[in-house]
Structure 1
Amino acid sequence: MTSIENAAVSSVVAGQLTLLDLLALTDVGPDRYRATAVFDEPEALYGGQVAAQALLAAGSAVAPDRQPHSLHGYYLRGGSAARPTDFHVERDRDGRSFSVRRVVATQDDAVIFTLTASFHRQEPGQDRVDTDGPLVPPAEDLPVGRLPRLFSVESRVPPQPFPGAVWPTRFWARCTIPLPATPLVQACALTYLSDISSGLLAWDDDEAATGPSLDHALWFHRPARMDEWVLVDLVPRTIAGGRGWYDGGIRTADGALAVTIAQEALFRFGRRPPGWNS
């Protein structure tokens, strides 16, 4: 199965959608793609979905031997899951080892998200990491959890570093359907997962709470399959001026750091959002 499907998936019943449906983009012109899997949802378009689709569009305009190594995205407007999203790719640079692509995502001609993604031809090198991952029980030893809004993803929740958070900030996750082994599709699936929680939830209280994402960055260090268990671990770092920033990582089941996450989001006075524990 290729990462880009040339058949539209329009007006799909949400209960029948899979992650692969969301990652099926229609080629609508030179370096232009459209995501046509739509469904009704009361919230604004999930940020991980549009980021994953934008990365897929960017990677479709890159030589297949170059894999995603970083992305930086900005959420500009709230999109709608009930409308198709268009992606326009700009080919900024192709060097000997790196390629850079910019993507503009629009709905009804309004820009909702922009992405810059860099791709690298893999090369040999040292392999080090400064810290080990958290000590948690294996996913198979934990009760079934719930990841709201995500298609084809299951979870397990280990003991939490911030028990008062309305959503878990540390959790296992796995795609419930087989995914193509291509690095681009696996990176898109990890991107889809990466925005579902927030390290800032650890600092929510009755006076102020985290809000919509402003910008989102990922660095892909090592291969990881989303159709195998991965551990997401998010940590709050700072809040100031109505904004908060956190970072974290996604590790494989054997503890290898696969992805580093960093995100800034609104953090304003107001009511705590509903979450997994509500």
Structure 2
Amino acid sequence: MTAAVDPGYPEADLPGLLELEPIERDLFRANAVFDDPLALYGGQVAAQALMAAGATVPDGRLPHSLHGYYLRGGDASHPTVFRVDRDRDGRSFSARRVVAIQRGKVIFNMSASFQAAEDGADHQVEPVPSAGAPDELPPFVLPRLTSFEGRLPAQPYPGGPWPTRFWARVTLQLPKEPLWHAAALTYLSDISTGLAPLHDETYQSGATLDHAVWFHRSIRLDDWVLLDLVPHTVGGGRGWYTGSVHTREGVLGASLTQEALYRRR
């Protein structure tokens, strides 16, 4: 990551990016387009896919997990169509599959599961990583993200090309519905890479292969959240890392994992 705004990224706000046009039953289109010198940002297409899936589930059911695969590079200057398959609606859970299509080809597919609100035990084993108070830290621009601001704490892996621990929040007030905040979290979750500390002069991480998020508790993304990414292993041309998203009060809102290409430069 860099500390400067990159040119050519969306001027539309985040709600505008996440707003989908229903064009048929279980068929949606993302019409927000813009020029981008890079392939379509993976967090954007994943967040839009989650919004499409969420539009088809019974009221009161919220996402508890998603698993996505990036199949082709997308084009930010072209609309994306999302087709949703309603695999099952049970008494408590709804299962959905989504494919994102551009120019007749699938660029991304995702399975997502939604659950009706349920009371029960609530335990959190690991504490929030040490990162200081966001209001007391220097500003940090999150490249490629619209309607987000960041703060940069001390890094657990100093000297890496991109930070693996940072605060972030949406600068606009999002709609109160929790689905919007889950989608905003998904949009954020693909930024940076937990493999950055493993980069060297010969090898570095590349395109994302697959990405998963588990939503443990509903949290708001228009307040500060801490994203913390941890590398685990590289091999066979791939690298794998995990991450967590905590509120400023230390509540674990979500966990994530990602696998990406890891090859010679």
TM range (shorter): over 0.9
Contact 2:63 2:215 in 1 (8 A): yes
Q: Say if 1:90 and 1:135 are closer, same or farther in 2 by CA, change over 3 A.
A: same
Which amino acid in the other structure matches residue 235 of structure 1?
Answer: V
1:12-161 superposed matches below 5 A? 16-161=11-156
1:195-274 superposed matches below 5 A? 195-270=190-265
Contact 2:10 2:34 in 1 (8 A): no
* Distance in 1 separating the partners of 2:65 and 2:71: 20
1:172 corresponds in structure 2 to 167
Determine helix, strand or coil for the equivalent of 1:67. strand
Which amino acid in the other structure matches residue 87 of structure 2?
Answer: D
Which amino acid in the other structure matches residue 174 of structure 1?
Answer: R
* Distance in 1 separating the partners of 2:239 and 2:10: 34
In the TM superposition, residue 254 of structure 1 has moved relative to its aligned partner by: 0.5
Q: Deviations over 1:161-197 (max 9, x none)?
A: 0112111100000000100111111100000000001
RMSD: 0.9
* Distance in 1 separating the partners of 2:200 and 2:92: 46
Contact 2:9 2:144 in 1 (8 A): no
* Distance in 2 separating the partners of 1:41 and 1:78: 12
Q: Deviations over 1:21-62 (max 9, x none)?
A: 101100110100000100000000000000000000000000
Q: Say if 1:35 and 1:137 are closer, same or farther in 2 by CA, change over 3 A.
A: same
* Distance in 2 separating the partners of 1:83 and 1:164: 37
Segments of 5+ residues of structure 1 without an aligned counterpart are: 1-12, 271-278
Determine helix, strand or coil for the equivalent of 1:49. helix
Segments of 5+ residues of structure 2 without an aligned counterpart are: 1-7
Which amino acid in the other structure matches residue 20 of structure 1?
Answer: P
* Distance in 2 separating the partners of 1:194 and 1:142: 21
Q: TM-score, normalised to structure 1's length?
A: 0.91
In the TM superposition, residue 16 of structure 1 has moved relative to its aligned partner by: 3.3
Determine helix, strand or coil for the equivalent of 1:199. coil
Determine helix, strand or coil for the equivalent of 2:184. helix
* Distance in 2 separating the partners of 1:165 and 1:237: 15
* Distance in 1 separating the partners of 2:130 and 2:141: 21
Structure 1 runs, 4 residues or longer, greater than 2 Å off: 13-16
* Distance in 1 separating the partners of 2:240 and 2:120: 31
Q: TM-score, normalised to structure 2's length?
A: 0.96
Aligned length: 258
* Distance in 2 separating the partners of 1:15 and 1:181: 23
* Distance in 2 separating the partners of 1:250 and 1:171: 10
* Distance in 2 separating the partners of 1:205 and 1:215: 23
Determine helix, strand or coil for the equivalent of 1:53. helix
Q: Say if 1:227 and 1:245 are closer, same or farther in 2 by CA, change over 3 A.
A: same
